[in-house]
């Protein structure tokens, strides 16, 4: 079972900042403490969500990370070296060349542990499709073994293994190549958030799909539809990881689990109960919806801590998590390393 | 009055500023994509009490010809903001200045990114504002297109004002009011509404206010509009000057423009580049320099020279002959003039100019003992040519380590450079005025 941790300064409950009031939680050190705890508990990734590309903003949200997510990801990557880091970034806020560069750099800083949570403009699927294709093509500017570092011959890379995209489409015109080295996991992991609506782009390009639904029936339906779309796109179920958002509320006893959760920014299925009950529930959900794992959206930091302290060991006792720690995010998720198009025989440009 | 100290920046670049640095036997060839290498360099600069480290940028590969590109370590690099965010949380005092162009970005996203760097570093961020002049960059953003020089600066002016307004949209303690009912204290948030020729910006920056008020503004403007923009908005200006007379003229020119914007002489620090090659003896320093020069492939050096001259190709002209006459350029005009002047003054061939520029790309080079290098810096610092220097070590890490170990103590002994940091923010260490209260 894969485990992700959705990072916020206070928790996903909009009132969490009042319980307790602690200004330090807005700072990098406190955020790093949360990530380090998730890392120590064996989580596979931390998710730095952003407001869903809504601009203009009229304040800082207490339920989103308080720094621009891609830069926070870069900072965290140097201080927590055993966990994947997925940052949200919006196609509406960055030119594709700039976004491709930001994430390619993050993938170098993190030594192959990064992922991009793709945020798109609503209602412009064609632009979104083209945007993701441009970014992917830029990430393929160099083959895995392009860099020679041959001091004697004075050859830094093999020019036959550099590929210039020369993209000309309806929305973007981008020459390339990207001026960043290819990372140790090939490319950042393409991550999409799926709720209602069009999942064609996620099914075609996504490697990690984050499923968001408030109710179990909705979650099962979204997962089934995603799997159908993945297969309709000519891919296999095993090419993609499906991970559902859950809001855990851990209680010492079933009666004590009356905690009220109001409208979290990222909705998820609420799982309330003792550690044993939550472990049961996650196992049932994974089986019912054919899921690979869960992203935890703790309503408060204290509930997150209880999940790490009590539920994670329970999952371990059941053999649902554990095993060898992999370095790259791709390896941790059990995703194949992307084969460069020049090797797989797809047409590429020079 | 306290004695005047020079300001020092460490201009970091993969294996070194010399174009062939990566081929040197001591070089770590993959340095440009190794985050641990850069964290080490930043810590060396911090040990040397440098005001700042500085990262250049281009949003494209720098050479169109794949064969030439594949011989240059500068063909790939970290994106500067990602790199400095990583360094921010592994250092404590040194300033972090990233280059970012106004040509192919938007004010909101850029202001937000620098605000994040400022928060992550506790107030040590700086933005080197540039405009993009290369065709290769334009082709990566072809919907935007390459603009003529004047329009690039018009956009830059409007961009800078929008970024400053966004940084001022949040007062100190705007969030988490003590005892307050809401997370945000709305009386301390001031929405920006700017609708100019190039941008529409509405809203509040999603960030807390900078620990230093605002990030430090840096520029390298050498054209007339560039110098005016620097005089109006910048705290630091970098410059490329070969001779002391050029440096003095530039210094006087930029400082003379401050008055009309209501700013004082000390509010803008002029920091020309210096490429120091440090040796125990003068002969050892010169031998170090020669060893690097011999590693430059002629084709790479000449292509680099052509790019600084903003022309496509020099390969049709004899290597040992003089530069041809230059066509007028829409690109970076000041750098072209500097090269043409140097070629005429010292009667240099294309090959000699190429090798000369490959070493420090038009900046001032000094090879000598620590005392000789300190003498040269002291002379320009005390004689109206510089408030400090942007140090461009030809080879990393050894060039910077040598400078910190040998030259910095010499400058300190002479009372020319700080023994300890004055504060924790870049603004405090530079000693420039805080932004006026908005």
Q: How many independent structural domains does chain A possess?
A: 1
Percent of chain B at pLDDT exceeding 70: 96
- B293 interfaces chain A, CB cutoff of 8 Å: no
- A108 interfaces chain B, CB cutoff of 8 Å: yes
Q: How many independent structural domains does chain B possess?
A: 1
Residue A350 lies in a domain: no
> CA B417 from chain center: how many Å?
20
- Contact predicate B411/B6, CB 8 Å: yes
B75 and A179: CB-CB below 8 Å?
A: yes
**Over 90: is that where the pLDDT of B340 sits?**
no
Mean pLDDT (whole number) for B76-101: 98
CB-CB neighbors (< 8 A) of A58 in chain B: 189, 191, 203-204
Amino acid B85: pLDDT: 98
Chain B: closest CA distance from residue A229 (Å): 32
CB-CB neighbors (< 8 A) of A158 in chain B: 70
- Contact predicate B360/B17, CB 8 Å: yes
Amino acid A318: pLDDT: 95
Q: Of the candidates B201, B203, B208, which has its C-beta nearest A26's C-beta?
A: B208
**Over 50: is that where the pLDDT of B1 sits?**
no
Instruction: Give, as one character, the DSSP assignment of residue B3.
Output: P
Residue B345 lies in a domain: no
CB-CB neighbors (< 8 A) of B29 in chain A: 149, 151, 156
- B395 interfaces chain A, CB cutoff of 8 Å: no
Q: Of the candidates A58, A70, A108, which has its C-beta nearest B191's C-beta?
A: A58
Chain A: closest CA distance from residue B29 (Å): 6
- Contact predicate B111/B166, CB 8 Å: yes
Residue A203 lies in a domain: yes
What is the number of helices (H) and of strands (E) in chain A?
11, 13
pLDDT in tens, B249-289: 999 999 999 999 999 999 999 999 999 999 999 999 999 99
Chain A: closest CA distance from residue B25 (Å): 8
Residues B177-202 as b/e (b if ≥16 CB within 10 A, e otherwise) read: beeeeebbbeeebebbeeeeeebebe
CB-CB neighbors (< 8 A) of A109 in chain B: 35, 78, 82-83, 86
| Burial class of residue A9 in the structure, from the number of CB atoms within 10 Å of its CB (0-12 exposed, 13-18 middle, 19+ buried) | buried
Which domain does A127 fall in, by range? 2-344
Cα–Cα dist A137/A212, whole Å: 28
The count of other CB atoms within 10 Å of the CB of residue A86 is 27
Amino acid B315: pLDDT: 83
- Which sign does the torsion angle of CA B405, B34, A99, B85 carry? negative
Block residue for tokens 């190039």? B198
Q: Of the candidates B25, B89, B295, which has its C-beta nearest A78's C-beta?
A: B89
- Tens digit of pLDDT at every position of chain A (350 positions): 999 999 999 999 988 999 888 889 999 999 999 999 999 999 999 999 886 545 556 778 888 889 999 999 999 999 999 999 999 999 988 999 999 999 999 999 999 999 999 998 777 889 999 999 999 999 999 999 999 999 999 999 999 999 999 999 999 999 999 999 999 999 999 999 998 767 899 999 999 999 999 899 999 999 999 999 999 999 999 999 999 999 998 876 555 555 554 444 447 899 989 999 999 999 999 999 999 999 999 999 999 999 999 999 999 999 999 877 889 999 999 999 999 999 877 655 54
> In sequence order, what are the residues at sequence separation of 6 or more whose Cβ sits closer than 8 angstroms to the Cβ of residue B362?
B240, B242, B308, B335, B338, B339
3-state secondary structure B291-358: HHHCCCCHHHHHHHHHHHCCCCCCCCCCCCCCCCCCCCCCCCHHHHHHHHHHHHHCCCCHHHHHHHHH
Selection from B100, B86, B7, B6 nearest residue B43 by Cα: B86
Phi, psi angles (nearest 5°) of residue A45: -155, 160
- Contact predicate B407/B278, CB 8 Å: yes
CB-CB neighbors (< 8 A) of A116 in chain B: none
**Over 50: is that where the pLDDT of B429 sits?**
yes
Average model confidence (pLDDT) across chain B: 91
Residue A238 lies in a domain: yes
Selection from A206, A178, A189, A205 nearest residue A328 by Cα: A189
CATH number at residue B36: 3.20.20.30
pLDDT in tens, B222-255: 888 899 999 999 999 998 888 999 999 999 999 9
Q: Of the candidates A61, A97, A108, which has its C-beta nearest B78's C-beta?
A: A108
Start-to-end CA span in chain B (Å): 30
Selection from B269, B271, B273, B272 nearest residue B235 by Cα: B269
Residue A349 lies in a domain: no
- A109 interfaces chain B, CB cutoff of 8 Å: yes
- Which sign does the torsion angle of CA A295, A300, A304, A307 carry? negative
B117 and A71: CB-CB below 8 Å?
A: yes
- 3-state secondary structure at position B399: helix
- A77 interfaces chain B, CB cutoff of 8 Å: yes
Q: Of the candidates B25, B104, B113, which has its C-beta nearest A68's C-beta?
A: B113
CATH number at residue A120: 3.20.20.30
Amino acid A322: pLDDT: 84
> CA B395 from chain center: how many Å?
17
Amino acid B337: pLDDT: 82
pLDDT in tens, B173-210: 999 877 778 899 999 999 999 999 999 999 899 999 99
CB-CB neighbors (< 8 A) of B90 in chain A: 78-79
Which domain does B55 fall in, by range? 7-278+364-430
């Amino acid at each position: 079972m894969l485990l992700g941790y959705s990072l916020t300064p206070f928790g996903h409950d909009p009132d969490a900042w009042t319980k307790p009031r602690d200004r330090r939680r807005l700072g990098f050190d406190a955020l790093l403490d949360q990530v380090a705890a998730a890392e120590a508990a064996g989580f596979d990734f931390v998710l730095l969500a952003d407001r869903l590309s809504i601009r203009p903003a009229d304040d800082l949200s207490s339920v989103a990370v308080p720094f621009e997510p891609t830069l926070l990801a870069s900072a965290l990557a140097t201080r927590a070296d055993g966990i994947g880091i997925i940052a949200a970034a919006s196609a509406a806020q960055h030119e594709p060349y700039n976004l491709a560069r930001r994430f390619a750099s993050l993938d170098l800083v993190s030594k192959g542990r990064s992922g991009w949570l793709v945020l798109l403009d609503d209602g412009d699927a064609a632009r979104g499709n083209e945007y993701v294709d441009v970014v992917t093509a830029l990430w393929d500017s160099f083959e895995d073994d392009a860099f020679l570092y041959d001091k004697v011959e004075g050859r830094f890379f093999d020019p036959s293994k550099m590929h210039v995209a020369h993209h000309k489409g309806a929305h973007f015109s981008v020459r390339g190549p990207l001026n960043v080295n290819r990372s140790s996991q090939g490319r950042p992991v393409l991550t999409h958030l799926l709720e209602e609506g069009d999942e064609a782009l996620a099914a075609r390009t996504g490697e990690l799909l984050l499923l968001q639904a408030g109710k179990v029936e909705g979650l099962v339906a979204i997962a089934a539809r995603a799997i159908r779309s993945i297969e309709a796109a000519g891919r296999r179920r095993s090419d993609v990881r499906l991970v559902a958002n859950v809001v855990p509320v851990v209680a010492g006893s079933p009666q004590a689990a009356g905690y009220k959760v109001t409208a979290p920014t990222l909705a998820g299925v609420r799982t309330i109960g003792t550690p044993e009950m939550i472990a049961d529930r996650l196992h049932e959900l994974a089986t019912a919806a054919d899921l690979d794992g869960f992203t935890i959206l703790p309503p408060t930091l204290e509930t997150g801590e209880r999940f790490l302290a009590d539920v994670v060991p329970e999952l371990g006792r059941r053999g649902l998590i554990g095993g060898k720690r992999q370095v790259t995010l791709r390896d941790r998720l059990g995703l194949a390393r992307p084969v460069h198009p020049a090797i797989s025989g797809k047409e590429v440009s020079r | 009055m306290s004695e005047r100290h020079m300001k020092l920046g460490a201009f970091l670049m993969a294996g070194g500023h010399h174009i062939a640095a990566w081929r040197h036997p001591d070089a770590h060839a993959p340095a440009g994509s190794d985050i641990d290498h850069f964290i080490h360099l930043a810590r060396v600069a911090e040990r040397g009490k440098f005001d700042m480290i500085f990262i250049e940028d281009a949003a494209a590969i720098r050479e169109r010809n794949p064969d030439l590109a594949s011989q240059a370590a500068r063909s790939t690099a970290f994106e500067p903001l990602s790199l400095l965010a990583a360094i921010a949380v592994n250092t404590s005092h040194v300033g972090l200045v990233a280059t970012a162009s106004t040509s192919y970005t938007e004010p909101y996203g850029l202001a937000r990114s620098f605000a994040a760097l400022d928060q992550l570093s506790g107030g040590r961020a700086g933005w080197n504002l540039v405009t993009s002049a290369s065709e290769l960059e334009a082709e990566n953003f072809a919907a935007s297109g390459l603009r003529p020089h004047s329009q690039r600066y018009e956009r830059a002016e409007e961009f800078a004002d929008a970024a400053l307004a966004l940084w001022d949209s949040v007062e100190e303690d705007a969030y988490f009011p003590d005892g307050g009912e809401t997370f945000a204290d709305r009386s301390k948030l001031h929405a920006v509404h700017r609708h100019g020729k190039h941008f529409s910006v509405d809203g509040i920056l999603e960030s807390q206010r900078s620990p230093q008020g605002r990030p430090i503004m840096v520029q390298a403007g050498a054209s007339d509009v560039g110098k005016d923009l620097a005089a109006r908005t910048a705290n630091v200006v970098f410059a490329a000057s070969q001779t002391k007379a050029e440096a003095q003229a530039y210094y006087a020119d930029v400082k003379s423009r401050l008055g009309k914007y209501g700013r004082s002489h000390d509010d803008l620090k002029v920091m020309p580049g210096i490429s120091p090659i440090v040796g125990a003896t003068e002969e050892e320093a010169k031998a170090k320099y020669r060893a690097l020069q011999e590693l430059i492939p002629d084709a790479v050096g000449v292509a680099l020279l052509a790019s600084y001259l903003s022309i496509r190709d020099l390969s049709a002209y004899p290597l040992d002959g003089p530069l041809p006459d230059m066509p007028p350029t829409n690109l970076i005009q000041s750098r072209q003039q500097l090269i043409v002047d140097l070629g005429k003054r010292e009667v240099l061939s294309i090959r000699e100019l190429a090798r000369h520029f490959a070493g420090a790309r038009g900046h001032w080079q000094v090879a000598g003992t620590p005392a000789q290098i300190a003498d040269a810096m002291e002379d320009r610092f005390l004689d109206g040519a510089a408030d400090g220097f942007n140090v461009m070590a030809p080879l990393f890490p050894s060039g910077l380590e040598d400078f910190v170990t040998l030259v910095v103590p010499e400058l300190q002994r002479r009372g020319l450079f700080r023994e300890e940091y004055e504060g924790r923010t870049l603004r405090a260490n530079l000693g420039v005025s805080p932004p006026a209260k908005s």
